Amino acid sequence: MTVKNGKIVSMDAYKQTGRVIDAEGRLIVPGFHDGHTHPHVPFTLVSPEAPMLFKAKSVEDATNSLREYAEKHPEDKFPRMFGWMSAIFKEGEKPTRQVLDSIIPDRPVYLVHHSGHEFWANTKALQMAEIFEKDPENFYGYIERDPETGFATGYMTETEYAGTDGVLLNTVKAVKPLTFREQTLVLRFILEEYSKVGVTSIWTKDGDIEISKIYEQLLKDDSLPVRATLDMLYTSYSSIDDIQMYADRATELKNAPLPKGFLKSPGAKLILDMPADGYVWLFESDKDPDTKTGKPFFSLEGFREQAIEADKKGLTINVLGLGDRAIHEALNVLEEIVKINPERERRHTIEHAEYIQDNDLGRFKDIGVIAVMNPIGVYPDKEYQKQLEKNIGKNRLDVLGMRWKDLIESGALVVNGSDFPLAPMDPMVGMHLLVNGTDLKGEPEGGLWPHKHISIEQALRTYTVNSAYASFDEDHLGMLKPEYAADFVILSENILDQQFDKTRLPKVKAMLTVFNGHIVHEDFSAEEKVIDFGG
Ligand SMILES: [Zn+2]
């Protein structure tokens, strides 16, 4: 392959001039595209240098981590840590502010559940957010309260987007833990991690205009190490007029005097339901009669109005939809849009798309809706799965859950994303979950739901050619051929070889990552990859 000026110019290298890299017979694949990720969470959910809490086995493990981090970082005005599992609490126990107060009473503290939708805060944080004594107005989330005093206990769900400005976002804004310049530095450090695992394009599935300015600054500074497609998140504090603002920002970025092909914000993320207790919107089911059917996070009518407006303004709609009912309703609205709005090329998506009724499966292809899924949905942790089974129902989970295989076979386009920081950003870990369905130790034997596993080639497509299509980049990304961008990865093992042991997937390394014709990561050492993730 010959590369020049950021592009592939031919698929041979017979005239060897310039720098020659010998892949020594190794597999070269297109640069990976992470179709659903949240790299800028350090500005909200987690302090930039705080370690993850995935591995904590008890409340004590988690609080020890917090103590250690807070002692090392007295400069952090608002310690936030991410990733605790529900199983660190004994049956019937819940997070309390008092436990955190005993470690840090004088700075606000937030520990965020691994789902990103449950929160554990200390008293100082609750007071600063002005929710200690009562709920804010127009509130959608849940703040647990002591039945006697009415004070917040320190446990909350879905408060990040709720209320006038989001409880957590409000506190972050009040404390201002990072300046704009610091945010660009932090984001750059995080984005550079993508290069190490072969990711050259990302699609963030939340964000706002302020965050898009950080990406723009990085591009101006010539230090954006991935191609970034950004979403604008519609929350309870957004107004329908904001959709015009999102569309204007999309146009502004498109016409800005910036290098082309690196940054755009064509999407609006609209929320139908949420991956949290009581907000996964499910159909009632005879087979799973005890499960909670949940409800939409905002109203269905509100969602419909936002979607029609966003489509009219030319935006790509990314619907957060998990439950089978939410997905059914999302498909109805997306189908209606095609009929009532002017004709145009549409590539709307449903994000997560975790539970799909048989009747709705074929509609993805028919309407042209793309399923953007997250392999973390098969997170092979026993406690997590037990909880999921209780909330969702065993039958629904086994039959209607995580239907990437059925969707692909129905002819629908499936894209996968890490949902970082919920899971590592490494596509090899995602592919491992899709293909093997086990944790990193190989448990459970044979993998969760073997009837849902897909082939390595199918998995690879969801991280390359399919994602390029979803973001309207199929004419220059996602494949290796002349005129396409020189974004590619040399892998340490040939994952497409018949003889390849597929249980080795998470161990496969990106030995060389080339982005726009530049080497952005190189590791030809024999050292094993370290993966910080649950089991
Ligand atoms: Zn997400």
DSSP 41-88: GGGTTS-TTPPP-TT--SHHHHHHHHHHHHHH-TT-SS-EEEEE-GGG
Q: What separation in Å is there between the alpha carbon of 395 and the centre of ligand 1?
A: 25
Q: What separation in Å is there between the alpha carbon of 423 and the centre of ligand 1?
A: 10
Cα torsion 157, 162, 166, 167: sign: negative
pLDDT of residue 69: 97
Preceding peptide of 444 cis, ω within 30°: yes
The encoded tokens of residue 289 equal 């009669």
Q: What separation in Å is there between the alpha carbon of 354 and the centre of ligand 1?
A: 12
Q: What separation in Å is there between the alpha carbon of 351 and the centre of ligand 1?
A: 8
pTM of the model: 0.90
Cα torsion 386, 390, 391, 393: sign: positive
Q: What separation in Å is there between the alpha carbon of 323 and the centre of ligand 1?
A: 15
Q: What separation in Å is there between the alpha carbon of 522 and the centre of ligand 1?
A: 29
Residue 31 DSSP symbol: P
Which residues have a Cβ under 8 Å from the Cβ of 411 and sit 6 or more positions away?
Answer: 365
Q: What separation in Å is there between the alpha carbon of 374 and the centre of ligand 1?
A: 8
Category of 534 on φ-ψ map: left (φ > 0), alpha (ψ -120 to 50) or beta:
left
Q: What separation in Å is there between the alpha carbon of 38 and the centre of ligand 1?
A: 6
Q: What separation in Å is there between the alpha carbon of 417 and the centre of ligand 1?
A: 9
Q: What separation in Å is there between the alpha carbon of 61 and the centre of ligand 1?
A: 26
Half-sphere exposure of 107 (CA within 13 A, CB side): 21
Q: What separation in Å is there between the alpha carbon of 461 and the centre of ligand 1?
A: 20
Q: Provide the edge-to-edge strand list for the sheet that holds 227-233.
A: 32-37, 199-204, 227-233, 263-271, 316-321, 349-352, 370-373, 414-416
pLDDT of residue 105: 96
Q: What separation in Å is there between the alpha carbon of 321 and the centre of ligand 1?
A: 11
Q: What separation in Å is there between the alpha carbon of 24 and the centre of ligand 1?
A: 37
Q: What separation in Å is there between the alpha carbon of 388 and the centre of ligand 1?
A: 17
Q: What separation in Å is there between the alpha carbon of 208 and the centre of ligand 1?
A: 15
Q: What separation in Å is there between the alpha carbon of 481 and the centre of ligand 1?
A: 31
Q: What separation in Å is there between the alpha carbon of 115 and the centre of ligand 1?
A: 9
Q: What separation in Å is there between the alpha carbon of 127 and the centre of ligand 1?
A: 28
Q: What separation in Å is there between the alpha carbon of 419 and the centre of ligand 1?
A: 5
Q: What separation in Å is there between the alpha carbon of 37 and the centre of ligand 1?
A: 6
Q: Do residues 400 and 327 make contact, with C-beta atoms less than 8 angstroms apart? A: no
pLDDT of residue 122: 96
Q: What separation in Å is there between the alpha carbon of 10 and the centre of ligand 1?
A: 37
Q: What separation in Å is there between the alpha carbon of 270 and the centre of ligand 1?
A: 12
pLDDT of residue 184: 93
pLDDT of residue 487: 98
Q: What separation in Å is there between the alpha carbon of 116 and the centre of ligand 1?
A: 8
Q: What separation in Å is there between the alpha carbon of 175 and the centre of ligand 1?
A: 25
Q: What separation in Å is there between the alpha carbon of 113 and the centre of ligand 1?
A: 13
What stretches in the chain show pLDDT beneath 50? 163-164, 535
CA dihedral 86, 87, 92, 93 (to 10 degrees): -70
Q: What separation in Å is there between the alpha carbon of 160 and the centre of ligand 1?
A: 13
Q: What separation in Å is there between the alpha carbon of 13 and the centre of ligand 1?
A: 41
Preceding peptide of 259 cis, ω within 30°: no
The encoded tokens of residue 519 equal 């080497």
Q: What separation in Å is there between the alpha carbon of 430 and the centre of ligand 1?
A: 14
Q: What separation in Å is there between the alpha carbon of 443 and the centre of ligand 1?
A: 25
Q: What separation in Å is there between the alpha carbon of 525 and the centre of ligand 1?
A: 33
CA–CA separation, 266 vs 269, rounded Å? Answer: 10
Q: What separation in Å is there between the alpha carbon of 421 and the centre of ligand 1?
A: 9
Q: What separation in Å is there between the alpha carbon of 106 and the centre of ligand 1?
A: 31
pLDDT of residue 277: 67
pLDDT of residue 164: 43
Q: Which residues pair with 317 in a beta bridge?
A: 268
